Structure 1
Amino acid sequence: MGAPLRIPVFSKSRSSNKPSETELQRAQRIRDAGDIWGAFTILRAGYEKQPSEEIATELSSLIGTTSGYVDVLAAMASHFDNNFYLNSNPDVRGATKDGDIHYLLYGWKENRNPSPFFDNAFYRDRNPDLKPGEFLLSHFAKCGKAAGSPANPINDRYWFEPFSPTDEQWSKLSPARMNDNTETVVIIPVYKGYEETMTAIYHAVSSRGNDRYSLLVINDKSPDDAINARLRSLAAKGLFEYHASVINRGFVQTCNYAIKELSGNHDVILLNSDAYVFPGWYNRLKAHAIDPSVATVTPLSNNATICSYPLTHRDNFLALECTPEQLDTLAANANRGLAVETPTGVGFCFYMNRNVINKIGALDSDAFKVGYGEENDFCMRALNHGYKNLIVGDVFVFHTGSVSFSAIKEENFNMGQKALEVNHPNYSPLVRGHIMADPELHLRRRLDMERLSAALRGATVFVTHKWGGGINTYLKQQKEALKDKKSDFVTLQVHDSCRVTVNTDYGLFVPNLTNIDLRNEFGLVAEMIDKLSPKLFHVNSFAGIDWHWHKKLLELISESGIPYKYVGHDYSSISHHYQLLRPDNIYAPIPSIQERRTWSTMIENSGSIDICDPDERLEAYTGFLVKAAVVEVPSKAANAILEREFPQVTFNVVPHDDHLPDFPIATRRARDKRIKVAVIGAIGPHKGSDVLTALAVDAKNRNLELDYTLVGYSSNDELLKSQGVYITGPYHTEAEALDILSRAQPDFVLIPSIWPETFCYALSMALKLLIPPVVFDIGAQAERVSPLAWGVTLPISLAYAPRKLSETLLGIDIDKLWDARERKIAA
C-alpha cells in the first residue's frame, strides 16, 4: 500500500481557518491557464497546512466530485495503493510518482483501478444508486463495504502466496536428480526472493513423481545468506542437482551456463524461481514437444502476458473458486493436447528443444545481458530456421512475477525491447498480429467452460436476450428466488445476430465465455451445455439473433433431454414482430398468417432480425413448445393470442409477482385548473412514444391544460422536450422511480403502449402507488386495469387520434377516480 495520506480535520469556524486569498487566487489563475495539476498541488498543500471548507470545496471541484474532500481523503487513505497504480499504468508511471494525484484528477473518471482489489468499472455497474459525480471509493468506504457490495468481480483475497516449506515437508519428497532415465532438465536460476524460491523448488520436486525430468537449481551468487544456507542444506539431502556460482553472471549467462555445461544433451525447461508447477505438468508439456519441428513450449499462467488466464495480458492475482493446482487439473481435462502456434513463448516456464539449441545456439547473452527479451529472441531465431513455438492449453503454471534479477526492471525491459527490434524488425508486427487474432482465446474459453461445469453443474440455465426491459425485471426475481434456495443458475444471453454470452451474475468469473460466435463455435455451446448438465432450461427470449441460430438453439434445447420451461414474454413464437405491431407501428388485432407474411415485405424497424416465413416459425415453435415441461404466460390476454396459434399446447397463466419494494402510497395533490399526466419507463414507438409526442404537440398547439412528465426517457427526448414534456431521465432502481413518480404527484398515469402487453411492469408502478392508471383496451394492460374502479381503459383507436385522445384525457373525472381509490384503501 502506498504511503498513508494525512487526513486533516478542519474547523467550521471561518475566522480561525480562513485561507489566504492570494493562495486561492494563485490556484485559480493556474487553473484558468489549464494547469489543473498545479492548482491541485497548491490547494492540497494549503489544505494540509491549514484545513478549511473553502479549499476543501475547491479541491472537490478540481477532482470533479460531489463527495466531500474529507470523505475522499479518508477513502484514499484506506483503499488507494500507489505502487499498484503506477505499476498498472505505465503512462502515468513515466510522468509522475504521484499516482494518487493522477487518480484523483483523472484516473477514477477513466476507470483506472486504484488498488488490486477495487475495479472501478465493475463497481459502477454494480451500484446503480451512485449519484452523478460521487467519488467511487468514498461510496465504497461509506456504503458499499458495510453493505457487503463486492469491489471487484473475482475475490477480495490473493489466489496463491509463496511459503517456506518445513523440514518435515522437505523430508517427505523423493529426489529429482539426474539419472539414466532423465530426458529433460528443469533449470531454476536463483538470485533473490527466499519464499518464492523455496516454493518454486518445492513444487518442482514434489510434482515430479515418476516423470522423467531432473531439477537443476543454479545459484547466481545470491546476496541472500538465508537462500544460500537453505539451498546448501537441501542439496545435501540430495533432492536436486545444485550448482552455486562463485561469480554473479546475471540471468541470461546463468541460464546459458546451465544449458551448455550442466544439462548434458537433454532438452531443458527454464523455470523461474517464482513459478510453481503441479503434478502431471511435465508429461503434458513434453507431449507437445515430441514433434521435432517444435522449438519451444509455454504453458498457460496467471501472469504471463499472452499466456495469461483468465484475463489475457493481465496479472491475475485474485483468487478464483479453485486453487492453482485444481486449475491445472481442469486445464488438463479441458484442453488435453490443444496448443496454438505463437511467434514467441514466455520465459517463466520455457521448454527448449535441445536439437534446436544445437542448431541455432542458446540464449543471446550479448544482446540481452540482464534478460527481458532473450526468450523472444530465441523464438524468433527458431522461426527463422523453420521451427515453431507453441502455447499449450493443458498445463497451468502459477507465476507470482515478483522476483527479478535486477532492481531497474523497467530500464532493462526497454533495453531488451530495443535489442529485439534491432535483431528482428518484424517481431513487433508479428506479436501485434498474434495479439489481435488471440488464438489463445479458444484455450481460455474451454478452461472457463471446464470451471463453469465443475462449479455449477446441475444449475438452472436461463436463456434470454441482452435488450433489458421487463424480462430482466422478471429474471431478477427468478434468480433471487433461486438464491434464497441456495440453488445455482447460469444465464445464456443471445445477442448480435449470432453470439452467446454466459453470465453468472458474478457468481463465477468466466470472462472468456462472452461473445461466443455460433457460426464457428456452436459445437462449443453444445459441449458446454452437455458438461453443465442443467436441471432445467428456463427459456425467455431469443431476441437479437437471426432465425437460423434462433431455430438451431430451439432444436438444441428440445433435443437435449433436459427439461425446459418456456415463458411467453412477447409474441416472438408467432412473429418476428414480437409486439404484433405492423412495421409502420399500427396495432393490428390478431393478425392472420397472410397478414404477417405481408408485413415481412415491409422495411423492418423494430430491431428484430430473426425474419422467416410465419409458417416456418409456427412449425419450429410448435415442435419446441409441445415438448416443454412447462409453458407459462403472465396474462390471460397473452394466453388468448398464443393458444389460438398453438392449440396443441397447454399454456399456464402465471402473473408475475410484485417485484417492487414497499413504498408509501401516493398522496393526491391539491387540484388546480391543469391536469398532470405521468408516463413511466423507457418508451419507444411500441411503448407509445409517438402517442405521447402527438399529445404533447396537440397540448402545445391548442394551449390545453395538460402537463406531461416522463419518468424515464424515450426514443426521442429532444423532440418531447421541445413540446413541453418534462423528462426526468433514466432511473437506476425501482425505488428511485417510485420516489420520482410519487413526488411528481400526477393526477393519473398514462400507459400509452400500443401493443398487447403480456404483463407491463410500468403499470405495476402506478398500481403500487395507487395512482389511477389510464390504458388502451388491449393486452395485459387492459386486463389488469379494467377491474379497477379507479382506473380507465380507452379504445385503442384513440392512439391514432391525438386530438380526440387529448379531449378524452381532459374529460376524465379525476375526482371520481381518486374517490374510488380512497374507497379501496378504506375497504
Structure 2
Amino acid sequence: MKVDIVIPIYNAYEYTVECVNSVIRHTNEEDYNLILINDKSPDKRVGEYLDKLGKENHENILISHNEKNIGFVGTVNKGMSISKNDIVLLNSDTEVTRNWLSKIKNVAYSNCNIATVTPLTNSGTICSIPIFCQDNQIPENFTVDEYADVIEKISLKIYPSIPTAVGFCMYIKRSVINKIGLFDEETFGRGYGEENDFCCKALENGYYHVLCDDTFIYHKGSASFSADKNELVKKNSKLLFERYPYYTKMIEKFILKNPLKEIQNNIKLQITIRNKKRNILYVVHNDFLTGENHPIGGTEFHVKDLVDNIKLFNSYVMIVKDNTIKIHAFIDERILKFSYQLSDVIDTFNFSSNSYIEKLNEIIDYFNIDVVHIQHLKTHTFDVVDIAKKKDIPVFLTIHDFYLNCPNINLLYFNKTYCINNRSKENCISCIKNNYGYDGYFLGVWNEKVYEMLKRIDKIFAPSNAAKKIFEQYYIDKYGKIEFEIKVIEHGIDEKKELKRNYLDNKDDKFKIAFVGGLSRTKGSKLIHDIIKNNKNKNVEWHLFGNIGDQRLNLLDKKEVIKHGRYNRNEIEKILNENNINLICIFSICPETYSYTLSESIIANIPILVTDIGALGERVDKYDIGWKIRYDSTYKEVLEKIEEIIKNKNTYIEKCSNIKNVKLPNKQEIAKYYEEFYLVKAKSKLNQIDSIEVKNTLLNYRINNIDEFSSNCENNAIVINELNRSIDQLQNEVSLMKATLGWKVMEYIRNTIPDSIKHIGKKTVYFFSRFMIK
C-alpha cells in the first residue's frame, strides 16, 4: 500500500522546492504519492513552480491550487480527504533523508495500536536533538544527509512512546483517521495545536504515538507562519488546554522526566566521535597518561607525541589491563574513556582469544577505525592483525624493543647479559623456562607466529638503523631470509634552545655526571651503583634524575650523590643545565632501539658516554657527540674512561661544539610524516552498528565519564549502580588481603617497630639482596 505525502504550501518558495526535491530524491517512487496543495500563496513563484512540476508527467504527484486561502488545517484536511491511504503530513520547510519513509512506516506497523509516528529533527520541540525542546543547528562539517546517515547507523532503535506527534513530519494511519476523523478545522483553522488535538483524540480511543529514533528530518522552522504566530499559539493553546485538562500535565511530566535522554546523549556522543575526521587505533602495552601497567617509557612518549600533533585523525589509544580493554579517545580537545571487560583470561603470551576478538571487532566497528598502528603487542593477542585485515584496514607496526624477536623484550640471557653470543636452542629453552615457566621450545613457536604476522603488516617502522639491523638479522639467522621491510623513521623531540654556558666552568670545581631516565637493571643500575661506590675522585659529583628501579641505588647514601627523583619530560633540558651537568651517562646493558634520554641530552647540549650497542652507540658515532664503552665493561674500565674524559679538555670541548650543531627531527615533523602516510592508506567508511552494541557503549561511556553528566540521581541510576557494584568488589578484595598473614605481619611492623630499627632492617635486606640479585 502506498503512503500519501501531503505538503500544504503557503509561500516559502525556496523551502518548498528543496522539500519536494528531497522527497523525490530520497523516496522510492512506487512507495508514495505526493499531494502538493497551494493555499493561494501570494508569492507567484510557488504557483509557477507547481504548474511546471505538474507538466513533467510525474504519475505519483498530484498538484492542487486552492481558489481562496483556507488556512493550514483546511489545506491539510483537503489533502487527507483526497487520499485513501496512510498519510504523512510534511511541512514545506523540511528536508527528508534517505530511507525515511520506509523506516517510519515499519515503526508505524510494529504495533496495531500506534496512531502516529514522528521522526527526530533539529527543530521539533520534544523530538529535537541533540538538545531537548530547543532549536538545534546541524553539527559543523555535516550535511543534512550525512547527519541523518550517522543517526540511522548508530540508533538505539528504542522507538519510544511520546505524548503527542509533532506536526513538521507526522505519519498517520488511515485506520485512525477513519475512526476519529480529520483535524478540527473549525477550532484550529489557521494552524497550531491541530495535531495535538488529533493526538489527544487518538489517545482517548486507545492509540498511542511513537518517535522513530533512527530517522532524521531537517526542519528549518515555522516558515509557513505569519508574524502574528505568537498570538495564534497563545489562543490555540488555551483552547487545547480547556478541551484536554490533562494535556498540560502530561507534557510537563514528559519534559521533566525526559525519557528521550538516552537518545539525546547517544547522539551527542556520536556528534563528538563522528566529527568527519578519520580514526586511528594505537595498540599499546601501557597508557601514556597515567602509566597503568608500568612506569611510562619511550613507547608511550612516542604515542603521546603523535596523538598531540596529528590533527586530521581522532586517536584511540588501546591498552589491556587486568583482562579489561581500556581506550582513551582523543577527539579534538576532549579525552573520552571506554572499557571493555574480557571474559577470557589472557595469559602472558596468548596468541588468540575469543573474547578479545569479539571486543576488538566491536571497537573497530563502533569507532569506525580507518587505520591500526601497533606500537606494542604485549598484553594483547595477535588477533589484531587478522581482524584488521578481514575488515580491509591497513595495519602498521613500530618496533620499540625486541619483543617480537623474543618475549624477553630486551634480548637479555637469563635477564643478565645481552644474548648475542648465547643463542642456541638449548639456551633459549632454558632462558624462557627460567623467566616464564614455559617448557619445550616455546621461542620457536613464538618466532613462527610472529614471522607470519610480520609478513601481513602493511608497513613496519623502526626509529634507528641499529634497531632495524638487529631485528632483521634475528630472523635472517632463523630463516635465512626475511619477507618484510622496515623503514627507519626517528622519533621526534622538542626544538633546541640556545644555551650559553661553559660546561667546564663550575663554580665549585666539581665535574658533574648525570644518569637520566628509568634507572633499572637493564639501564645499567648495577654498573652505576658500582661506579659511584668505587669512585675515588672527590671532584666528581653524581646526579640521578628519574625513577630508581634498583634498591641498591635507592639505599646508596653518599654526600656526593644527589637524587633528584622524577622529572617532567618537558623540563629536563632546563633541570640539567640548572644543575650544571658536564656529562650524561647512559649504560644500557641491552641494545636500545632509539633512546629518548639520549635525545634529551642532545637537546641540553651535554656530551654523552654510552654503551656501544644498539642505537646508543650508533647515534653517538653519527654526530660525534660523546664516547663509548663496551656494553659489558667493568666499573673499573668505566671509571678510567671518565678520568680520561675529565683530563682531555680539548676533546671534551670538541664534543660540546659538535653537539650544539645537531638538529634532531621535531615532534611536529614526525607527526606530519605519519599523518600523511595514514591519509594515503586510510579507507574511510561509516559502519552500521548493532543497536545492542550502541546501548552497551553508551552505558560504558557514562560509567567511564561520569563527570560529564548531571549529578541528578535519577538520570545516573544505572551508572551509580554499576559503580557501587565495582566498589563492593574492591572492598571484598581488600578485606581478603587484610585477612592474610603477610598483611598482619606488615601492620604489626608498621605500628610497633621504631623507625631506627626499620632503617637497620632495610640496610640488612639491602646487604643480602646484593648477593641474591647478582
Distance 1:258 1:825 in 2: 86
Distance 2:643 2:41 in 1: 89
Match of 2:452 in 1: 623
Match of 1:419 in 2: 249
Structure 1 counterpart of 2:318, from 478, 485, 494: 494
The alignment partner of 2:382 has SS state of helix
**Residue type of the partner of 1:420?**
M
Match of 1:343 in 2: 160
Structure 1 counterpart of 2:608, from 763, 766, 773: 773
Distance 2:523 2:194 in 1: 62
Distance 1:797 1:312 in 2: 72
1:512-541 superposed Cα distances (whole Å, 9 cap, x missing partner) = 998899665655677799x99x8xx77532
Deviation at 1:614, TM superposition (A): 6.1
Structure 2 counterpart of 1:317, from 131, 138, 141: 138
Q: Is residue 213 from structure 1 mapped to residue 33 from structure 2 by the alignment? A: yes
Q: How does 1:69-80 map to 2 (within 5 A)?
A: none
Match of 2:5 in 1: 185
**Which structure 1 residue ranges, 5 or more long, are not aligned?**
1-180, 220-224, 603-612
- Cα pair 2:119 2:127 within 8 Å, conserved: no
Distance 2:258 2:139 in 1: 32
1:606-662 superposed Cα distances (whole Å, 9 cap, x missing partner) = xxxxxxx76664443132124456655434356436744672362766543474576
Deviation at 1:569, TM superposition (A): 1.9
**Residue type of the partner of 2:213?**
I
- Note closer, same or farther for the CA distance 1:561–1:386 as it changes in structure 2 (3 Å cut): closer
Deviation at 1:429, TM superposition (A): 7.4
1:356-401 superposed Cα distances (whole Å, 9 cap, x missing partner) = 67679999999xx977996998899699969875423xx5533446
Distance 1:475 1:754 in 2: 25
- Cα pair 2:6 2:76 within 8 Å, conserved: no
Q: Is residue 725 from structure 1 mapped to residue 560 from structure 2 by the alignment? A: no
**Residue type of the partner of 1:818?**
Y
Deviation at 1:286, TM superposition (A): 3.9
Q: How does 1:444-455 map to 2 (within 5 A)?
A: none
Deviation at 1:566, TM superposition (A): 4.0
Q: How does 1:543-558 map to 2 (within 5 A)?
A: 543=377, 546-547=379-380, 550-557=381-388
- Cα pair 2:588 2:631 within 8 Å, conserved: no
The alignment partner of 1:214 has SS state of strand
- Note closer, same or farther for the CA distance 1:674–1:463 as it changes in structure 2 (3 Å cut): same
Match of 1:784 in 2: 619
- Note closer, same or farther for the CA distance 1:299–1:261 as it changes in structure 2 (3 Å cut): closer
The alignment partner of 1:569 has SS state of coil
The alignment partner of 1:341 has SS state of coil
Distance 2:434 2:132 in 1: 48
Deviation at 1:821, TM superposition (A): 0.9
The alignment partner of 1:774 has SS state of strand
Distance 2:300 2:159 in 1: 41
The alignment partner of 1:554 has SS state of helix
- Percent identical pairs in the alignment equals 17
Distance 2:198 2:572 in 1: 57
**Residue type of the partner of 1:391?**
D
The alignment partner of 2:158 has SS state of strand
| Equivalenced residues, count | 578
Distance 1:693 1:311 in 2: 64
- Note closer, same or farther for the CA distance 1:539–1:430 as it changes in structure 2 (3 Å cut): closer
- Cα pair 1:706 1:810 within 8 Å, conserved: no
Q: How does 1:43-58 map to 2 (within 5 A)?
A: none
Deviation at 1:553, TM superposition (A): 1.6
Structure 2 counterpart of 1:821, from 633, 638, 655: 655
- Cα pair 2:107 2:159 within 8 Å, conserved: no
Q: How does 1:523-542 map to 2 (within 5 A)?
A: 523=361, 539-542=373-376
- Note closer, same or farther for the CA distance 1:259–1:514 as it changes in structure 2 (3 Å cut): farther
Deviation at 1:474, TM superposition (A): 6.2
The two structures have a TM-score, normalised by structure 1, of 0.50
Distance 1:312 1:692 in 2: 69
- Note closer, same or farther for the CA distance 1:659–1:389 as it changes in structure 2 (3 Å cut): closer
1:572-591 superposed Cα distances (whole Å, 9 cap, x missing partner) = 325666556899xx766449
Match of 1:269 in 2: 88
Q: How does 1:82-101 map to 2 (within 5 A)?
A: none
Deviation at 1:763, TM superposition (A): 1.3
- Cα pair 2:587 2:611 within 8 Å, conserved: yes
Match of 1:567 in 2: 398
**Residue type of the partner of 1:624?**
M
- Cα pair 1:462 1:491 within 8 Å, conserved: yes
Deviation at 1:556, TM superposition (A): 3.2
- Note closer, same or farther for the CA distance 1:434–1:471 as it changes in structure 2 (3 Å cut): same
**Residue type of the partner of 1:759?**
Y
- Note closer, same or farther for the CA distance 1:630–1:357 as it changes in structure 2 (3 Å cut): same
Distance 1:246 1:697 in 2: 99
- Note closer, same or farther for the CA distance 1:595–1:184 as it changes in structure 2 (3 Å cut): farther
- Note closer, same or farther for the CA distance 1:265–1:500 as it changes in structure 2 (3 Å cut): farther
**Residue type of the partner of 2:606?**
I
Q: How does 1:646-685 map to 2 (within 5 A)?
A: 647-648=478-479, 650=482, 655-657=488-490, 659-660=492-493, 663=496, 666-667=499-500, 668-669=502-503, 670-672=505-507, 673-676=509-512
Distance 1:572 1:359 in 2: 74
- Note closer, same or farther for the CA distance 1:202–1:684 as it changes in structure 2 (3 Å cut): farther
The alignment partner of 2:386 has SS state of helix
**Residue type of the partner of 1:773?**
I
Distance 2:396 2:402 in 1: 16
**Which structure 2 residue ranges, 5 or more long, are not aligned?**
55-61, 289-296, 342-355, 420-426, 556-560, 662-774
Q: Is residue 759 from structure 1 mapped to residue 576 from structure 2 by the alignment? A: no
Match of 1:391 in 2: 213
Q: Is residue 749 from structure 1 mapped to residue 584 from structure 2 by the alignment? A: yes
The alignment partner of 2:592 has SS state of coil
1:539-561 superposed Cα distances (whole Å, 9 cap, x missing partner) = 532547x54xx322222356678
Deviation at 1:441, TM superposition (A): 9.8
- Cα pair 2:357 2:383 within 8 Å, conserved: no
- Note closer, same or farther for the CA distance 1:384–1:620 as it changes in structure 2 (3 Å cut): farther
Deviation at 1:764, TM superposition (A): 2.4
Distance 2:526 2:183 in 1: 74
- Cα pair 1:688 1:754 within 8 Å, conserved: yes
Distance 1:358 1:779 in 2: 84
Distance 2:195 2:642 in 1: 75
| Higher-RCO chain (CA-CA 8 Å, sequence separation at least 6) | 2
Distance 1:645 1:277 in 2: 59
The two structures have a TM-score, normalised by structure 2, of 0.52
The alignment partner of 1:623 has SS state of helix
- Cα pair 1:679 1:709 within 8 Å, conserved: yes
Distance 2:398 2:473 in 1: 13
Q: What do you get for the CA RMSD once the two structures are aligned?
A: 7.0
- Cα pair 2:357 2:387 within 8 Å, conserved: no
- Cα pair 1:571 1:580 within 8 Å, conserved: yes
- Cα pair 1:474 1:656 within 8 Å, conserved: no
**Residue type of the partner of 1:268?**
I
Larger Rg: 2
- Cα pair 1:307 1:391 within 8 Å, conserved: no
Distance 2:147 2:106 in 1: 19
The alignment partner of 2:157 has SS state of strand
